[in-house]
Chains A and B, each alone.
Chain A
Amino acid sequence: MMEHIESVMVVLPPPNKLTKVSCGIIGFNDKVSVTFGNISRNRDLERNFFCFLTSENIPVSITYNRNCHDECL
């Protein structure tokens, strides 16, 4: 079955108004998928997180980006 699945992601329950951001991590095949759920207008946390990883020479590729007003999956 593994060959039929390209990627897997885990979306945590939507964060509340205080924490605003939640982050789910899951491993599948030879990849780790990091998913941020964000209810705020700012993406600095995600940017800082992925920029740090790239500065450490870890290749990061954004595979899914859905804005709050986009259509669902």
Chain B
Amino acid sequence: MPPEFTYMDPSGKPDPEEFEDAYNRFFKEHIPVNTRRPEAFHLPFPLNTKPRLGIITATLPVSVLKEKAREKQVNLTVYLAAVYFYAVQQIYEDPAWPRRRKKTGKISVQIPINTRNLYPSKTMRNFSLFVMPEIDRRLGHYTFDEILKSVFHQMQLETDVKLVNKILSRNVGSERNIIVRAIPLFIKNPILRMNFKKMGYSQCTGVLSNFMGIHFLLP
């Protein structure tokens, strides 16, 4: 094993922090919850027949992409998010799609953030939150540079730990409520499903992962 490779010894005693619920640990009470966002524009495409999922992968040289991002003074996640916004805007502006399918001009993309950079947790359980930068196409056409500027500043603002606390308190607050906990699951489940439909993906146009590089150090 190379000395620089940090790993967890499977025969060792696990750190209790590895299986902690980090959402609960960093939850702060009495924080105003995040307000509900209005419905976002959704791609007006008809669905495929089952099985629906099609996958397309492209590779790009990281050096060229980094150079482009550096020119614009942003990181790769922001650069690619701006390209995503630009691509969605082109669909919004395409006259082939009827106006009734463009009820709202708000284009919003969900981007996960690395919460372990904000909160010192070693948990191996799910611990992710996301930000949702947006542009409102009803205000007019956005050039790529305008989108880039807007996405960059929104990402900077929304990844502030105080604002992330708001998202965290929204997610965890109701879970800790004693009345909510007392309600049986078979009643809660359909209500949660309804809420998810109303408040979940209706608020965002699409999902984009943040950029991370991976390394395999093993020989």
A interface residue numbers (CB < 8 A to B): 1-2, 5, 7-12, 14-28, 30-46, 48-50, 52-53, 56-69
Inter-chain contact B56/A65, CB cutoff 8 Å: yes
Q: Does B216 contact A (CB under 8 A)?
A: yes
Query: Could you tell me if A42 and B58 are in contact, using CB atoms closer than 8 angstroms?
Result: no
Q: In the complex, A9 Cα to B83 Cα: how many Å? A: 19
Besides the known contacts A5-B216, A35-B57, A40-B47, 19 further A-B residue pairs in the complex with CB atoms under 8 A apart: A8-B214, A18-B201, A19-B42, A19-B43, A23-B207, A25-B76, A26-B212, A27-B213, A27-B214, A32-B76, A33-B57, A38-B55, A42-B43, A53-B83, A58-B61, A58-B65, A60-B58, A68-B54, A69-B51
B38-66 with Cβ < 8 A to chain A: 42-43, 45-49, 51-65
Q: Which of A8, A18, A30 contacts B202 (CB 8 A)?
A: A18
In this assembly, does B68 line the interface, its C-beta being within 8 Å of a C-beta of chain A?
A: yes
Q: With contacts defined as CB atoms under 8 Å apart, how many contacts are there between chain A and chain B in the complex?
A: 187
B98 to chain A, nearest CB (A): 14
Interface centre among B213, B218, B219 (most CB of A within 10 A): B213
Q: Is the CB of A10 within 8 A of B86?
A: no
Let me know if B80 is at the binding interface, CB within 8 A.
Answer: yes
Chain B interface residue count, CB cutoff 8 Å, equals: 53
Q: Top 7 A-B pairs ranked by shortest CB distance?
A: A27-B213, A40-B45, A48-B87, A39-B52, A42-B45, A64-B57, A49-B87
Q: Is the CB of A60 within 8 A of B216?
A: no
A41→B76 contact, CB < 8 A: no
Could you tell me the distance in whole angstroms from the C-beta of A45 to the nearest C-beta in chain B?
5
Contact partners of A49 in chain B: CB under 8 A? 83-84, 87
Known: A20-B47, A31-B62, A39-B52. A52 touches B83 (CB 8 A): yes
Q: Output the residue of B86, B87, B204 with the most chain A CB within 10 A.
A: B87
Q: Is B1 interfacial (CB 8 A cutoff)?
A: no
> B183 interface residue, CB < 8 Å from A?
no
Provide the residues of chain B in CB contact with A69, threshold 8 Å: 51
Q: List 25 A-B contacts (CB under 8 A).
A: A1-B219, A5-B216, A17-B47, A18-B201, A18-B202, A20-B42, A20-B47, A21-B206, A25-B80, A27-B211, A30-B61, A32-B76, A33-B58, A35-B57, A41-B45, A41-B47, A42-B45, A43-B54, A45-B91, A48-B88, A49-B84, A52-B86, A62-B57, A63-B59, A66-B54
CB of A1 within 8 A of CB of B47, answer no
- The complex places the Cα of A14 from the Cα of B83 at a distance, in Å, of 21
Residues of A within 8 A of B213 (CB): 26-28
Known: A40-B45, A42-B45. A52 touches B87 (CB 8 A): yes
Shortest beta-carbon distance from B82 to chain A in Å:
10
